[in-house]
A and B are shown apart, each in its own frame.
Chain A
Amino acid sequence: MTASVLASAPATRTTLLGASMGLMKRGLQRILRLPSAFFPALMMPIFQSIAFSGTFFAITKIPGFPTDRSINWFMPLGACMGSAFSGVGLGFALIGDIETGFFDRLRMAPAPRNALLLGPLLTAWFRTMLVVTAVLIVGFILGARLTGGVLGLIVLYVAGLGIATMATGWGLGLAFRFRDMRGAAVMQLGLFVAIFLSSAQTPLNVMQGWLHGVARVNPVTNILRLSRQGFVGDLTWSGSWGGLVAIALMGALALVFARRGLDGLDK
């Protein structure tokens, strides 16, 4: 269907945006056709927000902890985890397309190469919007409160979209290189480790030992700080710019990684 979307354009070559939108449409239809593939990415962050905020409620009593509501601390983490898995899910889908040969047909379509990256990226962003919204709804039901105003919601979505961009680039890049389901484990493991070796569970000033050194230089720490801006204290530029820079750099690197993988597939 997508191949026909790409090929049925009036000109001999579809525009980047047109082809990408076609691929995004296919990605969204996949959610309806195969909800079991998207369901874990939606439920996992909700479960994580609920479980972490209940189990680790006591950490808010540690001197120096920036909030007295555990849900305020863990809900942005759940949203970011969900965003990451929304992005990496596109890597799983790509592996399926490569294995069935459908991706070869997409590559033969007269569409810009970058559409094969932008299409999944747009799908990942759409999925991220759904996941972050679902996590927010559950979070507010469980007692989360905005401390940084409505702008805090916007930065949470920005952080989610940023992480989804990184995860999509990472997932697609690995899918182009592995070309089978072995890549799926590496995709998940890489994200999991990157997120947890940061301030995912506790802020830097509460950590002790080896993790503090790792989390301090991990760019994900900055992105999580950005995501929590609206829920932990006030929204400030000093707490936000690091995350925005990390998103821009890591997102660009991940997409270059994916593009090089695609070029490698062509060779």
Chain B
Amino acid sequence: MTTAMSPLGAAFDPAADHRVERHLWAQTVAMSKRSVIAIIRQPALVAPSLVFPLFFAALGSSSFSRATGLPGFPKVDSFLALSLAASVIQGVLFGSTNGGAALAVDIENGFFDRLLASPTSRVSILIGSLAGSALFGAVQALFFTVVMMIFGVHLYGGIVGLLVIVLAGALIGLSIGALLAAMALRTGSAEAVQGVFPLLFIMLFFSSAFFPRETMRGIYRTIANINPVSHLYEGMRDLVIDRLSAGAVARALLIPIAIGCVSIPIALSQLRRRLKAL
């Protein structure tokens, strides 16, 4: 597909192939840069995804600090330690919505069509957008971890645990960003992309991100048990409150990868669908 899209149009010349790859890489980097700059240039959109999770963490640490002694809670130094992973997931979900909405705005205002009219690889447009979401997810994860460490959270998983949390942030940004990019490509409407946010919020709330599954009962517990966000959260949480373990690393990384294995092909198929419709 890349060869066919090549602006150079030389499909069978190895040297030309190499040049095409270089161009593809350069285009992807350029689109990624644009995606990141678009995030930086809109602090009013970015700030809530950084401030709100911290606000909820601060609220929770004061409201629920006495709950950590209840049966079902893991042994923790403070409720804030439990909130770190939830803040990362919550912040990245907020941030990913912005990435998807930005792509929809590009479609709405015609910039996407101008990109298609230029000799740019189609895939690099999508990858660029997703790379921006992934990078922002990593920055958010690092930001929340550093802020909470300043407020006394001890990271028992050590430096490797920190790296895994940051990588998990990037992977969540990538996988959820792909889902929202698919929505943007499907509908071409920023409003529709924003409309997905409540669904993500529901997934977050019906998980163990705020209180452990062991403290829930009935249908809530059943939903939390099958909700992948619960297992993702618990993997990341264990890296904070427990020593490094393969199980925690696997849950923190493999779940967003699994989500990405579904969401990225969906986004690509929506891109192909939109291109066909042109």
Contact = CB atoms under 8 A, between A and B. Distances in A.
A143 to B, nearest CB: 10
Interface of B: 44, 55, 58-67, 70-73, 198, 202, 205-206, 210-211, 215-220
A54 B62 contact: no
A210 B151 CA distance: 13
A133 to B, nearest CB: 22
Given A47-B202, A51-B205, A51-B206, A56 B66 contact: no
Interface of A: 40, 47, 51, 54-59, 61-62, 185, 193, 196-197, 201-202, 206-212
Given A201-B63, A201-B64, A61 B70 contact: yes
Nearest to A48: B205
Contacts, number: 67
| 3 cross-chain pairs, A with B, having the tightest CB-CB distances, nearest first | A211-B62, A54-B220, A58-B215
A94 B62 CA distance: 37
Contact of B216 (A47, A54, A197, A211): A54
A208 B66 contact: yes
A54 B202 CA distance: 12
B206 A55 contact: yes
Of A58, A61, A209, most B-chain CB atoms within 10 Å: A58
Contacts of B70: 58, 61-62
Contacts of A207: 62-63
Chain A residues touching B, majority SS: helix
Contacts of A202: 63-64
With most chain A CB atoms within 10 A of its CB, the pick from B58, B64, B211 is B64
Counting chain A CB atoms within 10 Å of each CB, which of B71, B216, B219 scores highest?
Answer: B216
B57 to A, nearest CB: 12
A186 to B, nearest CB: 11
Contact of A59 (B59, B67, B217, B220): B67
A55 B220 contact: yes
29 contacts: A47-B198, A47-B202, A51-B202, A51-B206, A54-B216, A54-B220, A55-B205, A55-B206, A56-B211, A57-B216, A57-B220, A58-B70, A58-B72, A58-B215, A58-B216, A59-B64, A61-B70, A62-B70, A197-B59, A202-B64, A206-B63, A207-B63, A208-B66, A209-B65, A210-B58, A210-B62, A211-B62, A211-B63, A212-B62
